[in-house]
Amino acid sequence: MTPQADSGLDTESKLILQPIGVIRTPYKNPGDAPRQGRFSDAVCILELWPEFVPGLKDVDKASHLVVLYWCHRSERNKLQTRTPYGETTRGVFATRSPSRPNPIALCVAELLEVNGCRLKVHGLDALDGSPLLDLKPYSPGIDAIPDAWVDLPGEVNKK
Q: Is residue 64 part of a domain?
A: yes
Q: Is residue 123 part of a domain?
A: yes
Residue by residue, pLDDT tens for the chain (159 residues) are 455 556 667 777 788 889 999 999 988 887 776 667 677 888 999 999 999 999 999 999 999 999 999 988 777 788 888 877 777 888 888 887 777 788 899 999 999 999 999 999 999 988 999 999 999 999 999 999 989 888 866 655 544
Domain at 128, CATH number: 2.40.30.70
CA 86, CA 81: separation in Å to the nearest integer?
A: 11
Closest CA to 114 of 45, 49, 42: 45
Range of the domain at 127: 16-138
User: What's the number of domains the chain is made of?
Assistant: 1
Q: Is residue 22 part of a domain?
A: yes
φ, ψ of residue 32 to 5 degrees: the values are -80, -30
